[in-house]
Amino acid sequence: MKVRDITIFSGQRFTVPQGIQRIDHRATHGWQLRYGGTKLFSDHTPDGSGAQAALEAATSELLKRIARLPAPTRLQRGPSENKTSDLPVGIFGPVVRQRRGSKVRYASLSVLVPRYGDVPLRKSVYIGSENTYTAERYSAALEKAIEMRRRAELAYQKATTRAKRLASEALLQQSKAAKGVKAPKAAKTAR
C-alpha cells in the first residue's frame, strides 16, 4: 500500500497510508479517512499530542474497510459529454471496414476491455457485412458487447480489490513488525 511522510503543525512526522489525509484547520486537528465514505479521527488535543493515537485508529478503520468493501476503481461510469452516440461506456461503433482483396464491407462494434495493471484491450464484435447487416444483428451484437464489457469491469473490480487487500495485509504486517508484535497469519480474504 502506498504511504507518504507527513509533518504536522507540531513538527511531528508520520508515515501515513493512502486513503488517510491530515486535517489541520483552526480548531480542527485530526486524520480524515477517505475510503468508503469519510470519517474524522480527532487528535482531541490542540497541540497535536494525540495525533499518533488518532492515526492508529484511522489506520485500523481503513484496514477494516478495505477488508469488507470493494476497492474504488478509476473506470469511467458514464459516457463523456463529447460522445455523440447513445452507446454505453467502452463501446464504440459501428465501425465499417473492408478487408484487403474483398469487395464487401463489414461492420462491427469495438469494445474497450479494461485489465487491472495492464493496458486495456480493444476487441471487436462482428455485426454483419453489407449484405447481412440488420437491426436484429446490430441489437444482438450490442448485447454481446455490453456483456463483454460488464464481465471485464467485474474482473477489473475483483483484481483491484484483491490488490488493495494484499497491500493492506502488507501494511498490517509492517506496522506490527515496527511495534515488535509478532504478526498473526493473514486471514484469507474474499477474492
Per-residue pLDDT of 127-174, as tens digits, reads 999 999 999 999 999 999 999 999 999 999 999 999 999 988 888 887
Residues 132 and 130: their CA atoms lie apart, in Å, by 6
Give the pLDDT confidence of 33-65 residue by residue, as tens digits. 999 899 999 999 888 899 999 999 999 999 999
- The domain tally of the chain equals 2
Q: Which range among 84-98, 153-167, 177-191 shows the weakest confidence by mean pLDDT?
A: 177-191
| 8 Å CB contact between 39 and 54 | no
Q: Is residue 84 packed enough to be buried (19+ CB in 10 Å), middle (13-18) or exposed (0-12)? A: exposed
Same domain, yes or no: 129 and 38: no
Q: Are residues 28 and 103 in the same domain?
A: no
How many residues are present in the chain?
191
Domain limit, last residue, from 69, 99, 115: 69
Amino acid at 152: A
pLDDT of 186 over the 50 cut: no
Q: Is the peptide bond before 94 cis (omega within 30 degrees of 0)?
A: yes
Domain region containing 112? 79-191
Question: Which pLDDT score is estimated for 65?
Answer: 93
Q: Which of these three, 69, 97, 112, is where a domain ends?
A: 69
Q: Are residues 148 and 87 in the same domain?
A: yes
The residue from 69, 97, 113 where one domain ends is 69
134 within a domain of the structure (yes/no):
yes
Position 181 in a domain: yes
CB 73 within 8 A of CB 157: yes
User: Considering the entire predicted model, what is its pTM?
Assistant: 0.73
Q: How confident is the model at residue 80 (pLDDT cuts 50, 70, 90)?
A: confident
What does the alpha-carbon distance between residue 26 and residue 140 come to, in Å, rounded to a whole number? Answer: 60
Decide if 29 contacts 46 (C-beta within 8 A).
yes
Is residue 152 within 8 Å of 113, Cβ to Cβ?
yes
Mean pLDDT score of the chain, rounded to an integer? 88
**Predicted confidence band of residue 183 (pLDDT cuts 50, 70, 90):** very low
Residue type, 4: R
Residue 185 placed within a domain: yes
User: Which three cell numbers mark 102?
Assistant: 474483398
The residue ranking higher by pLDDT, 179 or 131, is 131
% pLDDT > 70, the chain: 93
Minimal CA–CA distance to 2: which of 16, 14, 21, 12?
A: 16
Would you say residue 74 lies in a domain? no
Higher local confidence (pLDDT), 180 or 151: 151
Q: What is the pLDDT of residue 134?
A: 94
- Same domain, residue pair 65 and 148: no
Please tell me whether residues 173 and 91 are part of one structural domain: yes
- What's the pLDDT at 112? 94
Grid cell of 1 as nine digits: 500500500
Instruction: Please indicate, yes or no, whether residues 55 and 88 belong to a single structural domain of this protein.
Output: no
